[in-house]
C-alpha cells in the first residue's frame, strides 16, 4: 500500500467500515453489504451525539419473556440486516432519508444481567442521555418490556403520549408494579399516566387475555386490517390520535409467522410485511416523537427473513421522518 493509499484509508475515503471512518452524519456511501464494522444502515458509530437528529440505540434485554428467549440478539441481527439496504434512495420514496436526517448509531444500552429489576432505571438513564442531547431516539430491542421505560423517558420530555402499537398482543395485563413482564408494560404506562389511552391505537391484535378491558384504547384487530385497505386503517389511526405527540412501537410478532418466524411468541393470522410497510408510509400526519422495533429473536429465524423485515420496517420509519422534514423523491428516469 502506497503512502497516499494508506492516508486515504486512514481518512475514511474507502467504501468499508463506514461506521467508524465516515466524516459526515449525512448521506449514504455505498459499500459492501457483507463486510465492515456493523452499525445501523452504516451510520457513524459514536457516543458523540452532537448534531444528530435521530440516535439509533439497541437494548439487548430479554429477561421478561413469557415464551421463547433470544431477543437480546435482536439489535445485532437487525443492524446486520440493514447493511443490504444502505445503498441510497429507498423505494418507493425515491430519496435517501439520510440526505435529510443526521443519524448516528450510539450502540447498546448496558444493564446488569444479574439483576433484571435494574433494567427500568438503566433504560431510562440511557434514553435521558439521548433525549437530553436534543435528538430523537429510535430503539431496537430486545423484548417489548423495554417500551415501558422508554415511554417514561419520552413522557418526561413531551408529556403524556399517544401510543401507536403494532402487535399481536395488547400487553395490558394487570401488574402489581413488581413484575418485569413483556405482557403488562402498557398497563403500567397507562396507570403511570405516561400514555393517554383515549389517544392510543393498537393495530394487528389477535389474542385475548384474562381482563379484556381496553382501558379506553382503540383496538384494531388483525381481522379488520385484513378486510380493510392500509388507507382505511391509517384514517382510523388519524381520527384517534389527531396531532397528539405519539410514540410508535412495533412488535415484530404483529407480522404473520410466515413473514417473521424469528420471534418469541409467534401468532398465526398476522399482517404481511407489505401491509405493515404500506401503513407506515401513510403515517405522514402523525406527530411521532420516538419509536422502536422489538422482539426479533434471530435464532428462530429462517434465512434471516425476520431480521430483514425488521430492518426494512426501520428504514421505512426513517423515510417517513425524512418526508415529514421536507424530503421528496426525484421522478423516475425515462428511457
- Cell matching residue 47: 457516543
Largest interatomic CA distance in the chain:
70
Q: In this structure, are strands 288-294 and 246-251 parallel, antiparallel, or unpaired?
A: parallel
Cβ distance 199 to 158 under 8 Å? Answer: no
Express each pLDDT in 279-335 by its tens digit. Answer: 999 999 999 999 999 999 999 999 999 999 999 999 999 999 999 999 999 876 665
Residue 181 has what DSSP assignment? Answer: -
Q: 3-324, what's its fold?
A: 3.40.800
- Average pLDDT of every residue of the chain: 90
* Count of beta carbons in the 10 Å neighbourhood of residue 148: 27
Question: Would the CA dihedral through 162, 203, 169, 259 be positive or negative?
Answer: negative
Q: What is the pLDDT of residue 67?
A: 85
Cβ distance 294 to 74 under 8 Å? Answer: yes
Residue 26 pLDDT > 70, yes or no? Answer: yes
The tally of CA atoms less than 13 A away on the side-chain side of residue 157 is: 22
Q: What is the pLDDT of residue 65?
A: 82
Identify the weakest region by mean pLDDT among 142-146, 210-214, 255-259: 210-214
Q: Where are the domains of the chain?
A: 3-324
Report the distance separating Cα 143 and Cα 153, nearest Å: 18
Report the distance separating Cα 233 and Cα 278, nearest Å: 10
Identify the weakest region by mean pLDDT among 77-86, 247-256, 307-316: 77-86
Which position has the higher pLDDT, 86 or 122? 122
Q: What is the pLDDT of residue 212?
A: 65
Percent above pLDDT 70 for the chain: 93
Mean pLDDT of the region 126-130? 97
Which position has the higher pLDDT, 7 or 319? 319
Express each pLDDT in 133-149 by its tens digit. Answer: 999 999 999 999 999 99
Q: What is the pTM of this model?
A: 0.90
Q: What is the pLDDT of residue 32?
A: 72
Q: What is the pLDDT of residue 3?
A: 40
Burial pattern 210-237, b for ≥16 Cβ within 10 A else e, equals eeeeeeebbbbebeebeeeebeebbeeb
> If we measure between CA atoms, which residue out of 277, 271, 288, 274 comes closest to residue 313?
277
Q: What is the pLDDT of residue 334?
A: 60
What kind and span of H or E run contains 120?
Answer: helix 119-131
Amino acid at each position: 500500500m502506497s503512502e497516499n493509499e494508506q492516508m486515504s484509508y486512514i481518512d475514511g475515503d474507502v467504501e468499508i467500515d463506514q461506521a467508524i471512518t465516515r466524516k459526515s452524519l449525512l448521506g449514504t456511501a455505498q459499500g459492501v453489504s457483507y463486510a465492515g464494522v456493523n452499525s445501523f444502515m452504516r451510520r457513524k458509530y459514536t457516543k458523540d451525539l452532537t448534531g444528530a437528529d435521530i440516535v439509533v440505540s439497541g437494548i439487548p434485554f430479554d429477561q421478561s419473556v413469557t415464551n421463547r428467549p433470544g431477543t437480546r440478539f435482536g439489535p445485532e441481527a437487525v443492524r446486520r440486516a440493514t447493511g443490504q439496504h444502505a445503498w441510497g434512495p429507498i423505494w418507493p420514496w425515491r430519496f435517501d432519508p439520510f440526505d435529510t436526517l443526521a443519524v448516528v448509531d450510539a450502540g447498546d444500552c448496558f444493564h446488569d444481567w444479574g439483576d433484571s429489576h435494574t433494567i427500568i432505571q438503566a433504560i431510562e438513564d440511557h434514553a435521558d442521555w439521548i433525549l437530553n442531547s436534543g435528538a430523537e431516539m429510535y430503539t431496537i430491542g430486545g423484548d417489548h418490556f423495554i417500551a415501558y421505560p422508554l415511554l417514561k423517558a419520552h413522557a418526561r420530555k413531551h408529556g403524556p403520549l399517544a401510543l401507536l402499537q403494532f402487535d399481536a398482543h395488547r400487553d395490558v395485563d394487570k401488574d402489581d408494579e413488581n413484575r418485569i413482564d413483556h405482557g403488562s408494560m402498557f398497563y403500567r404506562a397507562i396507570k403511570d399516566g405516561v400514555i393517554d389511552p383515549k389517544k392510543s391505537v393498537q393495530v394487528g391484535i389477535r389474542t385475548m387475555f384474562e381482563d379484556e378491558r381496553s382501558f379506553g384504547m382503540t383496538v384494531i384487530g388483525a381481522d379488520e386490517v385484513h378486510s380493510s385497505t392500509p388507507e382505511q386503517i391509517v384514517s382510523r389511526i388519524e381520527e384517534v390520535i389527531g396531532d397528539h405527540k405519539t410514540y410508535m412501537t412495533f412488535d415484530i410478532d404483529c407480522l404473520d409467522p410466515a413473514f417473521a418466524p424469528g420471534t418469541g411468541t409467534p401468532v398465526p393470522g398476522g399482517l404481511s410485511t407489505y401491509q405493515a410497510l404500506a401503513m407506515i408510509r401513510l403515517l405522514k400526519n402523525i406527530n411521532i416523537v420516538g419509536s422502536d422495533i422489538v422482539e426479533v429473536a434471530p435464532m428462530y429465524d429462517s434465512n434471516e427473513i425476520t431480521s430483514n423485515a425488521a430492518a426494512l420496517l426501520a428504514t421505512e420509519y426513517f423515510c417517513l421522518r425524512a418526508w415529514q422534514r421536507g424530503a421528496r423523491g426525484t421522478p423516475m428516469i425515462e428511457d
